[in-house]
Amino acid sequence: MPLDVTKFKLPQQIEEYRKAVAEFVLSDLEPIANQIENTVKVPKEMWPKLQQSGLLRLTMPKEYGGFGLTYSQYFPILEEVAKTHGTIRLIVHTWNWLYYYQFLKYGSAEQKKLLPKIASGDHMVAWALTEPDTGTGLDLKMTAKRDGDSLVINGKKHLISLAMVADTFIIFAKTDPSAGRRGFSSLAIPKGAKGFTVIPQPDTMGLRGDPHGVVAILDFKNCRVPASTLIGPEGSGLDQALETLDVSRLSIGVTCLGLSQRFLDLSVHYAQRRTTFGKTLAERQAVQQMIADMATDVHALRLMTTDATLKVDRGLPCRKEAAMCKLFGIETVRKASDKALEIHGGLGFTRVFPIERMYRDARGPWLEEGTPTIQRSVIAREVLKS
């Protein structure tokens, strides 16, 4: 059934809303998930559903048209959304942090005018850090050189989600190559800026469908923009990116929790009904062992993400914990997806069950906001400096 957020008083009725989202995921979003896989496109009718449901403005402050939910209130909802198509999950995840945080904390009065439009789903933003020939830190090559009251941008970004449909692009570039970590800045570039081209890249293994499955290259060739496109003080871009990534990595941990829980639920349901040689799979010790391992990992991940979420809500640093949640999350969902496929057997390899699609989508979080090796580097750095 369609979900109308106006029927709920948030955050007071947060648990009733979460249950309604869980039903909405299965009744409205799961059929769209199948359509995305068949057409490799996100259908236009999905956007009004997401807008009406309120899923695009859960954490946005109330003064900008959101509900101002804490992350302890929001993450159980993201967990439910993560149980359907990965592209739908990614849209909800990014809309509730990645695409508005910098405008909210660092943006000018003019840039903050975008916040209500982002909350309503009428303005789309792409967040562009990754480059084709570098990592995602001090070796970034994109430059934004001062020329009077303008900045001239040169360089490329790639694997950028929502790029084919975005209205505004948050990019990170070197404004002072001699200043080390203080030489990076963040800019908000409008679609259609002269010298800025968006180039589609090949479709992806999972998270299929425009606008995310068709990731893109952003190509800047002497793109001249006013200095007012800077987000926050010049030289603060790297700090902004790292702050943004902390909560986004925790969001990925919650995503992996939702996916892993659904792999477990589907496996239990199938094992209790599938009979071979006169016994259900659930009666076989080997299957019981797999389900026990899945349930244990899911419980551990739930406790990890809950702990980190409480730190975020209290305003405490969580860089180490967020990286741990993403790292343990992707390992949990990897093992859960492997076991779920094994329990479902040959039918799990077909599209009879959602296992096949979910198996591919579960590989997306590996690469979002940094590979496992990057997470380990972040964790080690935080541990060693303490």
The pairing of strands 216-226 and 196-200 is antiparallel
Rounded to 5 degrees, what are φ and ψ at 11? -95, 0
Tell me which DSSP letter residue 348 carries: G
Tell me which DSSP letter residue 202 carries: P
Alpha-carbon Rg for the chain, nearest whole angstrom, is: 21
Find how far residue 148's CA is from the centre of its chain.
37
Rounded to 5 degrees, what are φ and ψ at 358? -65, -35
SS3 198: strand
Other C-beta atoms closer than 10 Å to the C-beta of 227 total: 16
SS3 50: helix
Other C-beta atoms closer than 10 Å to the C-beta of 371 total: 15
Find how far residue 69's CA is from the centre of its chain.
17
Rounded to 5 degrees, what are φ and ψ at 357? -65, -45
Return the bridge partners of 174, or none: 143, 184
Q: Supply the angle between the helices 285-313 and 71-81 in degrees, to the nearest 10.
A: 150
For the record, the structure tokens of 37 come out as 């896989």
Find how far residue 44's CA is from the centre of its chain.
20
Q: What percentage of the chain's residues is helix, strand, coil (to nearest 5)?
A: 55, 15, 30
Measured CA to CA, the distance from residue 20 to residue 15 in angstroms comes to 9
**Burial of 370 from C-beta contacts in 10 A (0-12 / 13-18 / 19+):** buried
Side-chain-side CA neighbours of 354 within 13 Å: the count stands at 23
331 assigned to active site: no
Which one of the listed residues 37, 80, 321, 369 is annotated catalytic?
A: 369
Catalytically active residues are 369
